[in-house]
Every structure is written in C-alpha cells, then in structure tokens.
C-alpha cells in the first residue's frame, strides 16, 4: 500500500508539477485539477487527441440528493458516490472519483502487458466456468476477450474502456450470439467495431434491436431498464467505472421513448402499466 501511494505521488509530481501531492485530494478545486491532468496527458503524449474535453452531466432533480457523472477522454465514466446536497458538491465528488481512477490508471499494473493479459484471462475463465483452452478460441467469450486484450497491448485500461464497453453491449444485446449464426467470427466483429466509437448512431441501432425484442416479448424493455437503473446506482455508490451501465440505460431509454410514442410497437399486456410509468421517468 505504501509503495502504491508513493507511486501515485510520483505520478502527481510528473503530471501535475504545480500541485502538492499531499493536498491533491483535499483541494476543493478538484474539477480544475482533473481537467489539468488530462490536458497535461494530451500534451505529453497526444492521448485521445480527438476527445480533448472532460464532460460533466448532472441528472435533473427537484432537490437533493443530487447525482453527477463525468466522462473522461477515451470514454470512461464515473459518478459521485456520496450523498450530495448540491449540484456543485456532486460535481466535485464525481471529479474526485475520476481523478483517483485517472491517477491509478497511470500505475504500471494498469497497463496491458503479457502478464496482465494472463491474469485477466485466468480471472475470466474462473468467472465463466470455462477452461484455459477457450482463450485460444475466438468464438468463445473468453477467447474474444483474450483477442481484444492482445490487440490493445501497451494501452492502459482507461484507454481500452471504449472497446470493452462496445463488446459488453454487443454481448448484452445478443448481437454476438446472432453473429455466431452467420459466417462472421467474434474476432472479425471485434476488428470491425475497433474502428468505430460508441456514438448516437450505434446507440440507435441497439435501441432498434430492443424495440424488436419488445414486439416479441412485451414488457422486456421496462424490465431491462429497471435492472439497468439499479445496476447503475449500485456501481456509482461503489465508486466503480460506469460506462457500460450508463450506456445500457441510454439505449433502453431511447427504445422506450420510441415505444411510448408508438402504441402499436407492442401488444397490450399487464406489464404495460410499468412501461408507461418508466416512460414518465425518461
């Protein structure tokens, strides 16, 4: 632990030379420090040159507690994990979580190396009840994950987050399962999506998939959205990276907006009441 703290102080001294490492996380101006950190990184090694801003988003609320999210260059997202009584406090708390993760991301242990890949694949095998042989088979989830890591050798985990989120969404959306029935391998799919960013066009395509699912199973979108909202809140309060959960919420909310505006999208069912209620949420 002492060695990790010493490494963080060294990183702060390098990236934020005008700041006192002992006072960084106590400074109320953590919002400007986070911006300064990423501007410094871009100047040093042109990291994410096309995404040069730190973006904040505050959820609309009539009163406390307030929730704020911050998205970093490269796509990683964090939120405030404390109960905040003002929007400014929520913004600062989200920035603090993002800054801590940004600094930890600079540690050698967060860079994708052969050793890191080996450990990550072993953890993936254990969590999926698979075998190490799956790592050499791109048609399996573990194999696809192994291929993605090897394709991003040398990057940090925050730099890898965008592609990882796309893969998670494709898996959640059922797209990978559908592609398995075609001639496209997971490796080809990953190579294809590596060229694109997670933008409104991709979200719209995934939302259309869920609209089709709603026609087959009325109520499934409201069910998935409730789950996504719960997962997002739990991950935020735990200080975890939020991109996957937040994108799930955005995609399902987009699908729900279309469903609510088109009564013929799905047939009436008992779950339609909860669907209407969630339309009000969006």
Beta bridge partners of 70: 56, 78
DSSP-derived 3-state class of residue 66 = strand
DSSP 235-261: HHHTT---HHHHHHHHHHHHHHHHHHH
For residues 109-139, one letter each, b for 16 or more C-beta atoms within 10 angstroms of the residue's C-beta and e for the rest, the string is ebbbeeebbeebbeebbeeeebeeebbebbe
Q: In what order do the strands lie in the sheet with 77-79?
A: 55-58, 68-71, 77-79
CA angle 22, 57, 35 (to 5 degrees): 35
**Whole-model pTM?**
0.76
24-105 maps to CATH 2.60.40: no
Question: What is the Cα–Cα distance from 46 to 57, expressed in whole angstroms?
Answer: 25
Chain CA centroid to CA 181, Å: 28
Which residues have C-beta within 8 Å of that of residue 140, sequence separation ≥ 6?
130, 134, 186
Determine contact, residues 254/268, Cβ cutoff 8 Å. no
Question: What is the Cα–Cα distance from 209 to 32, expressed in whole angstroms?
Answer: 40
Domain range summary for the chain, segments of one domain joined by + = 24-105, 107-196, 198-259
DSSP-derived 3-state class of residue 186 = helix
Walk along the chain (282 residues) and give the pLDDT tens digit of each residue. Answer: 445 445 556 666 665 666 655 555 555 578 888 998 888 877 766 555 555 589 999 999 999 999 999 999 888 999 999 999 999 999 999 999 999 888 888 888 788 899 988 888 888 888 777 788 878 877 777 887 888 888 888 888 887 888 888 888 887 887 656 555 555 666 676 677 677 677 888 899 899 999 999 999 999 999 999 999 999 999 999 989 999 999 999 999 999 998 888 755 544 443 443 444 344 433
Q: What is the pLDDT of residue 267?
A: 44
């Amino acid at each position: 632990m002492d060695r990790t703290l010493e490494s963080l102080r060294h990183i702060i001294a390098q990236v934020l030379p005008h700041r006192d490492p002992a006072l960084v996380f106590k400074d109320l101006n953590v919002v400007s420090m986070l911006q300064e950190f990423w501007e410094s990184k871009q100047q040093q090694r042109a990291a994410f040159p096309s995404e040069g801003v730190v973006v904040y988003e505050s959820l609309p609320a009539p009163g406390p507690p307030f929730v704020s999210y911050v998205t970093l260059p490269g796509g990683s997202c964090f939120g405030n994990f404390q109960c905040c009584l003002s929007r400014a406090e929520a913004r600062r708390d989200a920035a603090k979580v993002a800054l801590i993760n940004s600094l930890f991301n600079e540690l050698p242990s967060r860079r994708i190396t052969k050793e890191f890949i080996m450990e990550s694949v072993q953890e993936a095998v254990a969590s999926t009840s698979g075998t190490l042989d799956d790592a050499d088979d791109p048609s399996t989830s573990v194999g696809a994950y192994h291929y993605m890591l090897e394709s991003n050798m040398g990057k940090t985990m925050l730099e890898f987050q965008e592609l990882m989120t796309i893969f998670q969404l494709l898996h959640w959306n059922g797209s990978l399962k559908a592609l398995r029935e075609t001639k496209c391998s997971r490796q080809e799919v990953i190579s294809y999506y590596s060229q694109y960013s997670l933008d409104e066009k991709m979200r719209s395509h995934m939302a259309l998939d869920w609209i089709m699912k709603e026609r087959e199973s009325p109520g499934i979108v409201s069910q998935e959205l409730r789950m996504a909202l719960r997962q997002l809140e739990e991950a935020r309060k735990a200080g975890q990276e939020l991109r996957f959960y937040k994108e799930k919420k955005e995609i399902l909310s987009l699908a729900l907006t279309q469903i609510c505006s088109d009564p013929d999208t799905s047939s009436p069912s008992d779950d339609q009441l909860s669907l209407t209620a969630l339309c009000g949420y969006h």
